[in-house]
Structure 1
Amino acid sequence: MDLGRLSTDALASFAVFADHLNFTRAAGELHISQPALHVKVRKLSEAVGRPLYTRHGRRLALTPAGERVARFARDLDARMTSFLAEMDGTAASRAPALAAGEGAYLYLLGDAVHPGVRLINGDRARTLAAVRTGRADVGVAVLDVLPADVETELLASYPQALVMPDDHPLAALPRLALCDLAGAALVVPPPAGPHRVTLERALRAAEVPWSLAVEAEGWPLMLHFVALRIGVAVVNGCVPPPPGLTAREIIDLPAVPYYALHLPGRADDPLVTGLLSAVRTAVRSTPCISRYPSTSTPRPRPSGTS
């Protein structure tokens, strides 16, 4: 590694690129040409001696080395900002940054989301990357495997539940099993997403036949299609059914664990502790599907419903 070739300008530019993972948008924010940004990143990669990003089709992702370089670049910028503020006789400050996905923001985080917090929206991979690179102080995500390079705290585990119209035959049951979904037309996320993969694997293992009603991205659109009676949907238990729809826990699907995550060594950082406190409070006030009372009178389990 040739440390003498590390450029503070290239580091700052790479931090912006790491935010976007898109050369066009990053170059626009930096007010430089896209080829110029490519040169900066390439030279920085040569100085470090490792590739800083990989390309998967049209999608870019940081390598572990790229995450470390982005984190170093942000740390350097923060130290420079603090130094200049000290020299100027002022106090350096910044807003805490929270990273999470659409579902967490809509149904889980509540009052933790306010104008004093800088919000970063992304899927699980982008949330992890935001924390690893220092872009986010705290992330909230569903984790099936706990990463070794970040600190994690279990916030809550929610059952998975079937959402259906109030007058659906299965709504008469207080809880459901996978076998009750036999023959159901399901509203599901697009293929390869973690929720879709887990659900399909469970249905296949239980030998439960089902049909595709429609693919929809995100809980709100899935619930919209259920309200239109296009099909029924399996959602996380923190997603409340809107008026006209009912949710019932599916007892033999695994619970969905939401974790807060931050970089090691930042447990005493006020930016982290303040966000964690707000996130914990918000999660504690989130209703759970299994706590919703059954509004229908239980009756014998129906057969052949869809």
Structure 2
Amino acid sequence: MMILDRLVAEDLEAFAVFAKHRNFTHAAGELHVSQPALHARVRKLEQTLGKQLYERQGRKLLLTATGDQLAAFANDSRARAAAFLDELDVLPPRPLVLAAGSGAYLYVIGEVLRRYLAREPGLRLMTTDSDATVTAIRDGSADFGVTALTIPPDDLDCEPLAQYPQVLAVRPGHRLADRRTVRLKDLHGEALVVPPKTRPHRQQLERSLLDAGVDWTVAVEAEGWNLLVHFVRLGVGPAVVNGFVRTPAAVRTIPVKDLPPIRYYLVTRRNRPADQRLDLLRELLQRHVLK
């Protein structure tokens, strides 16, 4: 018997749900089965393929490379089946799923979503960071994503959409407020408003400051561009933020010359089934965001 013949549809469906949650309790709840039954289905798939599908790291369950591939296969199979049934008018079409971060929704694609939803109301949104967006595309739990990437992954299609400079946000009375541009060395001795250590922007900024030999301290850690700017306005300290961030009159933004721009991409899986809804969204993104 061929391996594909042994990949039962119900088991693939169960694994797709498990891959979405990476949690047996939540996945079993969505599937309305017991946890032991779900464990048995995943073990059956592992035995059929002869490959480990997930691994435990601390308290987290992470998909292996094979697990990512199987999740994408399972979700593609569901999408193809839904498209076939849609052609027969048997079931309503499955909504597209978009994964993007809060900054992308607020500043990059908000107008595009408004235009798209006026024509195609069936769109489900996921709010995810960059890593989670890429993972959701790989395992098929999202159809496409819009996110900032430092290095686009080789296994996904990543179409450039927009790029924004990194800027220093300061109060008008700050010693650098009258500068047209600044360099990282100008931040020597500053107490900066920064994201938490786990955020990609903080990690990149720390590496760049270290490479430039800049001695600095943390004024406060804050999550999200708006809160960073809010603390700047209060006088807590300056912050390096994405150039698309809208700032009040009490805050000035100055380009940081030796930091790279932040680049946003439309991310999809390769060889995914054709979908006119995705084509429409891609057209709107390229028309209203591409720059």
Instruction: For 1:113 and 1:181, locate their aligned partners in 2 and report how far apart those are by CA, in whole Å.
Output: 38
Offset at 1:95? 2.7
Matched residue, 1:169: 175
Name 1:256's counterpart in structure 2: 262
Matches within 5 A, 1:143-154: 143-154=149-160
Deviation (angstroms), 1:18:
1.6
> Taking structure 1 as reference, are residues 2 and 266 closer, same or farther at Cα in structure 2, changes over 3 Å only?
closer
The aligned counterpart of 1:75 is: 76
The equivalent of 1:49 in structure 2 is 50
Taking structure 2 as the reference length, the TM-score comes to 0.87
**Counterpart AA for 2:35:** Q
1:96–1:118: 8 Å Cα contact kept in structure 2?
Answer: yes
Identity of paired residues, percent?
Answer: 47
Distance 1:26 1:202 in 2: 41
Q: Per-residue CA shift, 1:232-255, capped at 9, x if unaligned?
A: 211111222234222111011111
Specify whether residues 251 and 34 from structure 1 end up closer, same or farther in structure 2 by C-alpha distance, changes over 3 A only: same
Aligned equivalent of 2:20: 19
- Measure the CA separation in 2 of the matches of 1:259 and 1:86: 31
User: What corresponds to 1:302 in structure 2?
Assistant: none
Distance 1:74 1:267, change over 3 A: closer
Q: How do residues 199-238 of structure 1 correspond to structure 2 at under 5 angstroms?
A: 199-238=205-244
Match of 1:295 in 2: none
Q: Which residue matches 1:297?
A: none
Cα deviation 1:97-116 (Å, max 9, x = unaligned): 21112221122111233452
Are residue 196 (structure 1) and residue 196 (structure 2) matched?
no
8 Å contact kept, 2:160–2:290: no
Closer, same or farther in 2 for the Cα pair 1:85/1:173, shift >3 Å? Answer: closer
CA drift of 1:85 comes to 4.7
The alignment partner of 1:203 has SS state of helix
Q: CA deviation at 1:267?
A: 9.1
Comparing 227-236 with 259-268, which one deviates more in the overlay?
Answer: 259-268
Pair 1:84–1:277, CA change in 2 (3 A): closer
User: 3-state SS of the aligned residue for 2:232?
Assistant: helix
Q: CA deviation at 1:165?
A: 2.0
Kindly report the root-mean-square deviation, in angstroms, between the aligned alpha carbons of the 2 structures.
2.4
Identify which range, 178-187 or 125-134, moves more after superposition: 125-134
Q: Distance in 1 between matches of 2:87 and 2:259?
A: 55
Query: Quick one: which amino acid aligns to residue 72 of structure 1?
Result: F
CA contact (8 A) 1:138 1:276 kept: no
Closer, same or farther in 2 for the Cα pair 1:6/1:123, shift >3 Å?
A: same
Question: Which consecutive residues of structure 2, in runs of 5 or more, have no partner in the other structure?
Answer: none
After TM superposition, list the pairs within 5 Å mapping 1:24-103 onto structure 2.
24-86=25-87, 89-90=89-90, 92-103=92-103
Offset, 1:175:
1.4
State whether residues 76 and 273 of structure 2, in contact with CA within 8 Å, keep that contact through their aligned partners in structure 1.
no
Structure 2 counterpart of 1:136, one-letter code: A
Pair 163,273 (structure 1): closer, same or farther in 2 beyond 3 Å: same
Give the 3-state SS of the residue equivalent to 2:177 in structure 1: helix
Select the residue among 268, 274, 282 that pairs with 2:280.
274
Tell me the SS of whatever aligns to 1:258: strand
- Among 130, 137, 147, which residue is 1:131 paired with? 137
Letter in 1 for 2:223: E
TM normalised by structure 1 equals 0.83
Q: CA deviation at 1:83?
A: 4.2
Aligned ranges 1:151-162 → 2 under 5 Å: 151-162=157-168
1:193-220 superposed Cα distances (whole Å, 9 cap, x missing partner): 3211211111112111111111222222
Check conservation: 2:164, 2:242, Cα contact below 8 A: yes
Per the TM alignment, residue 135 of structure 1 is displaced from its structure 2 partner at its CA by: 2.6
Using the alignment, how far apart are the partners of 1:284 and 1:239 within structure 2? 17
Segment of structure 1 superposing worse, 201-210 or 223-232? 223-232
The AA in structure 1 aligned to 2:150 is: D
In structure 2, what is the Cα distance between the partners aligned to 1:268 and 1:27?
31
Asked whether the 8 Å contact 1:110–1:282 carries over to 2, the reply is no
Runs of 4+ aligned residues of structure 1 deviating over 6 Å after TM superposition are none
Letter in 1 for 2:48: A
